[in-house]
Structure 1
Amino acid sequence: MINKYFSEKKWKFLFLGIVSFLGCTITLFSCAQEKTNKNPVGYDLTTPKKYNMPNILQEISGITFLNGNSATVYAEQDEEGKVFVFPLGSKQYTHTKFAKNGDYEDIAIAKNKLIVLKSNGHLYSFPITETNKEETTQTVETKSILPKGEYEGMYANPISGQVYVLCKECKQDKGSKYTSGFVLNVQNDGKFVLVKKFAVDASSIDALTGRKKGTFHPSALAQHPVTKDWYIVSAVNKVLVLADRQWKIKGAYHLSSNIFNQPEGIAFDKTGNLYISNEGSDSQYGNILKFVYSPSKK
């Protein structure tokens, strides 16, 4: 009788143990699934076409296209005051010296002017026709139009010509989940005027990615030519953030270090294909990654 009791009890505990183990396994699998890399609609962030950069662009930062034509890339790196122009996929390039060496972070085109953003918030512009020269004397610098801080991300609307800049790290955002942004107009003389300010509430990024991302530090931004959503890259956080036209975040996607070494620039061509530039390292070339846009892809 006693042996039978213990035998039944033993099988009961064994059964409960198996159920408990399966439950934990399912829970862990579910949690892992939640943190699996997801993709914005229309893209697969795991299957890019890679274009390696020439050595001079090992520290490639911002990239842009003229009128959404990706056949020609306009780029800069964060050491020399030069704009580089080259066919996508080629290591042959030309460059134009526009300013002395410094920490230049992003590039854009508006109203037939090339615009470069320096990390301290200073803006430089010169006619795009000057890119056929080794050095331009027509650079116009705009200082102190943005609050003191660190800046990396900029975008210029090809139709309106308005320029959008996001803080990477600004005093007014310290201790909050908000990231300050600014809208500017470029004038005919190449100078800039501040039009308005806005803010991006980044408090939902951790929940959307399922990962602890910390304070948001944008390094590049661009507006999708079809959906008009904003795509914002942060190299520090390894995240791609999507926001609507009013800058309300609607999606956030982890960027795998196996694919994105240091994402510093972003651009779209006119059909919606996505391009993200990455700085290189001791073991990797600087590159531009192309992600084909397929609107039906979920």
Structure 2
Amino acid sequence: MKNYTAIGLLTLFILMNFSCAQNQQTKYSSPKGYDLNKPVKYKMPDDLLEISGITFSKGNADRFYAIQDEDGKLFYGKLGDTRVSHTKFGKHGDYEDVAIMGDKVIVLKSNGKLYTFPLAEIDEQELTHVQELVDLLPGGEYESMYADESAKKLYVLCKNCDDERTTKSSTGYVFNVQPSGVIEPAGNFKIEVKQITKLIKDNKIKFRPSAMALNPIDKNWYIVSAVNNLLVVADASFKVTAAYPLEHKNFLQPEGLAFDSKGNMYISNEGDEFSRGSVLKFNYSGAK
């Protein structure tokens, strides 16, 4: 009888410790004003299982705009709704990011092609005034784009470019966007990977940016890398100042990034056969 009691107590002790271990979740560090451990989660409809880019118009979060990386469709609606609207702008393809500049929507394809069309016409089932822009970017794979409406500039960051296979940096390209809608090259910039590896103390890290956005509050660049699940922060000159590992439990595959006018941060995640696509909102609480 005593042996059974001892075994029972031992089993109870093990179960209690296992339960405590399960409840003690790792707390991940966060940028100032945010808590990456406490997102507000919006599940996406089935059409956006593979959501790959998200943006707002003039920072207004009442309506989001998104694309997914298989169909040439722009999706739009209210976060939290079970259904969203869409319009078709292109053929089947690998579309990775979306931005809005004034009255124009700009979509980035993984091969570097850009597509622009009027925002006012998205209620149409299929768009007819779509312009395809080629040869603006060198050969490679692209997933990150941001439109700075106040400066009338477009930024595109390479994920894996042909001329970077032996380097340890990610090259970005800057374009001026004319009132007529014409997009013209205006320089480039680099994200140095060694600045990231130094911060996270991992020399083998691979930085493959999947989304970028300018924070309207602190004026820093926030860049997500789905490879290695990282959130990188860089200053106005693109010098990396911080890097934050992202918990896989919440960030299944972070592919999109946007801020609203209040500084709240939104990161979209592709789903899989077990989980739906999602958008995680991180409320801005003010710099501390």
Task: Tell me how far apart the structure 2 counterparts of residues 44 and 146 of structure 1 sit (CA, whole Å).
Answer: 35
Match for 2:141: what amino acid? Answer: E
Flag the structure with larger Rg.
1
In 2, distance between residues paired with 1:122 and 1:280? 25
What one-letter code is carried by the residue in structure 1 that aligns with 2:239? Answer: K
Does 2:275 match 1:269?
no
Equivalences for residues 211-290 of structure 1 within 5 A = 211=202, 214-290=205-281
Corresponding position of 1:100: 91
C-alpha distance in 1, partners of 2:90/2:222? 29
The separation in 2 between residues aligned to 1:296 and 1:166, in whole angstroms, is 27
How many Å separate the matches in 2 of 1:140 and 1:187?
A: 15
User: 1:178 deviation in Å?
Assistant: 1.1
Asked if 1:157 corresponds to 2:148, the answer is yes
> Structure 1: 5+ residue runs without aligned partners?
1-34
Native 8 Å contact 2:152 2:178 kept in 1: no
Q: Distance in 1 between matches of 2:88 and 2:181?
A: 17
Q: Conserved in 2, the CA contact under 8 Å of 1:126 and 1:190?
A: no
Q: Identify which range, 135-144 or 288-297, moves more after superposition.
A: 288-297
- State the SS of the aligned residue for 1:102: coil
Q: Deviations over 1:220-256 (max 9, x none)?
A: 0000001110000000121000000000000000011
- Name the structure 1 match of 2:131: 140
- Deviation at 1:158? 2.1
Contact persistence 1:141–1:191 (CA under 8 A):
no
Structure 2: how far apart are the matches of 1:215 and 1:154?
19
**Residue identity (%):** 49
Aligned residues: 263
Equivalent of residue 47 in structure 2, options 41, 56, 63: 56
Deviations 1:239-296 (CA, angstroms, capped at 9, x unpaired): 0000000000000000110110000000000010000000001111100000011124
Is there any run of 5+ residues in structure 2 with no aligned partner, and where?
1-25
Contact 1:205–1:213 under 8 Å retained in 2: no
Shift of 1:213: 5.5
Q: 1:122 aligns with which of 104, 113, 118?
A: 113
Please report the RMSD computed on the Cα atoms of aligned residues, expressed in angstroms. Answer: 1.4
Secondary structure in structure 1 of the residue aligned to 2:231: strand
* Letter matched to residue 226 of structure 1: I
Bigger mean CA offset, 209-218 vs 156-165? 209-218
